[in-house]
Each structure stands twice: as C-alpha cells, then as structure tokens.
Amino acid sequence: MNMIIMGPPGSGKGTQASRIAEVYGVPAVSTGDMLREAISNGTQRGLEAKAFMDKGELVPDQVVIDIVKERLAEADAQQGFLLDGFPRSAVQAESLGETLAGAGKKIDLVINVAVPDDEIIRRLSRRRVCPKCNAVYHLDHQPPKVAGMCDKCGADVVQRNDDNETTIAHRLEVYRQNSEPLIEYYRNMGLLVEVPGTKTIDEVFGEIRAHIEGKL
Ligand code: AP5
Ligand code: MG
Ligand code: ZN
C-alpha cells in the first residue's frame, strides 16, 4: 500500500510514521529526515537546503521532488511506502501523481493528522530527536529511557535548529499557506482520512491502524 501522512509541524507525523513502518513493513520516507541527513553529510543538496530549513521556509520544490523520486525508485519502496512531509505544495502533489502514474502506481491512502496550534508549540518546544537514527522523543510524553540518550542507537539526542518559538510560528504560517490546501486536494480524490492527533500516541496509532486495515 502506498500512503501519505500529512499534518502541521509537530502533529506527530514522524512518531506515527515509524510505528506504521514497523507494523506494515513499508519504508517511512521523510523528506525532513533526508534533508537533515544531507546537511549533516555536507552534500551540495544539504548546503542548498539548510538556509531554507533554518528559517522554516520550504526547500524549493525541484530539490525535494528529485530526492523523493530517487528514494521511491529504490528496491524497498516497490511493495509500498509511507511518505512523511511530502507533498507539501500543489506542485509537489502534481509531480508525485505523475511520477507514480508513469510507473503504473498510485496513492492508496492519505492520513491527515490534525492538532491545534497551542498543542503544537507545547510539543515542539520540548521535542528531542536523534541525529543518527531520527528517533523522536518528548521530554514529558515520550522521554528517552536514559536522559539525553537515544533508546535505539545510543547517540546523544538534540533539539532541532528549527524548534524555536519564532521558527515554529513561521513553519505554521508556511503550512497554512502551502500545505493545508492539500487536504482538500486529496479529499476530492477520495483518498483522505482524518485522524485527530490530540489523543495519546497509542490512541492516535490505533485510529490510523483501523483506517489502514479498512483499505487492505
Ligand atoms: P519536517 O522535518 O517534515 O518538519 P515538520 O513538518 O515541521 O514536522 P515535524 O517533523 O516538526 O513534526 P512531526 O509531525 O513529524 O511530529 P513528531 O512526530 O516529531 O520538515 C522540516 C523542514 O524541512 C521544513 O520546514 C522544510 O524546510 C523542509 N522540508 C521537508 N519536507 C519538505 C517538502 N516536501 N518541501 C519543501 N521543504 C521541505 O512529534 C512532535 C513532538 O510531539 C515530539 O516530541 C513527539 O514526541 C510529540 N508527540 C507526538 N505525538 C504525540 C501525541 N499524540 N501526544 C503527545 N505528544 C506527541
Ligand atoms: Mg517529522
Ligand atoms: Zn538513535
């Protein structure tokens, strides 16, 4: 099954994506994680993306479109995938549709996770992430077992550069302007399911599971 998980910054896309990937055996393809990897590897793409990401702006469409095309061509994505953080603009959504159609594929399910702004700010200001394996933590809701250390790989967890109050506010504006309209786009295609993201991580996952099972 080919899926997309959408929602504002901090809605829990990455948290839910890693659970979905584990249970359904599909790769979670996160453009944010891939861009941060490019930055830490010091690649040309990473250098190009960093300034946009630090400001909370979208990285130019063509850069992310190319990254996703390459990733979806890999062997492990042929039996299904889950996109997290892509598409985020009308141009990206159109391009994805065309690329998949060219390969005789399509999107089967789009999961939209909704969370109000005040909760987003609470979540992102206390988030920690693992720069090595991309595991996501929260100092109150989902703390690492040993303070400061990733449960999965032992690396030191860090705060993302864009998780400060000013940049979070800008990311929300950018989301409203560019990405939120995709809810309607996928609803019109009959692919959208809506999941409230304010319950516990387990409860949100339970609802997502029910929607996926309904499509299998
Ligand atoms: P990206 O990395 O995708 O960031 P984002 O969309 O802002 O989303 P986040 O990763 O911040 O949040 P999330 O929804 O994954 O939440 P999480 O699970 O971590 O993109 C970063 C940047 O890259 C963009 O600004 C842009 O510059 C660039 N970029 C990426 N894709 C692009 C594209 N397609 N086009 C152009 N540019 C692109 O959870 C958040 C916190 O809440 C965590 O601490 C977690 O533990 C906690 N939490 C999760 N669920 C719950 C719950 N149910 N209850 C309580 N706490 C919870
Ligand atoms: Mg994320
Ligand atoms: Zn880790």
**pTM above threshold 0.95:** yes
> What is the reported pLDDT for 73?
97
Residue in 105, 126, 160, 209 annotated catalytic: 160
The model's pLDDT over 48-105, given as tens digits with 9 standing for 90+, comes to 999 999 999 999 999 999 999 999 999 999 999 999 999 999 999 999 999 999 999 9
Residue 216 has pLDDT above 90, yes or no: no
> Is residue 125 within 6 Å of ligand 1 at its C-beta?
no
Atom 7 of ligand 1: nearest residue by CA position? 9
**C-alpha 158 to ligand 2 mean position (Å):** 14
What span, in angstroms and rounded, lies between the C-alpha atoms of 92 and 88?
6
Q: Which residues pair with 35 in a beta bridge?
A: none
Residue in 36, 45, 88, 123 annotated catalytic: 88
DSSP single-letter state for residue 25: -
Q: Distance between terminal CA atoms of the chain?
A: 8
Sign of CA dihedral 205, 210, 212, 216: positive
Listed residue (137, 177, 175, 181) closest to 155, CA to CA: 137
Catalytic residue flag (residue 128): no
Q: Which residues neighbour ligand 2 (ion) by CB within 5 Å? A: 14
Pick the atom of ligand 1 nearest to 197's CA.
53
Helices (H), the chain: 13-24, 31-40, 44-55, 61-72, 90-102, 117-125, 165-174, 181-188, 201-215
> What is the reported pLDDT for 143?
97
> What is the reported pLDDT for 35?
98
> Is residue 171 within 6 Å of ligand 1 at its C-beta?
yes
> Is residue 200 within 6 Å of ligand 1 at its C-beta?
yes
What span, in angstroms and rounded, lies between the C-alpha atoms of 213 and 216?
5
Domains and CATH numbers, the chain: 2-26+79-115+177-215 (3.40.50.300)
Share of residues in the chain with pLDDT > 90 (%): 100
pLDDT band at 194 (very low <50, low <70, confident <90, very high): very high
What span, in angstroms and rounded, lies between the C-alpha atoms of 83 and 5?
6
pLDDT band at 176 (very low <50, low <70, confident <90, very high): very high
Residue 119 has pLDDT above 90, yes or no: yes
Average pLDDT score, the chain = 97
203, two tokens: 């409860």
Catalytic residue flag (residue 171): yes
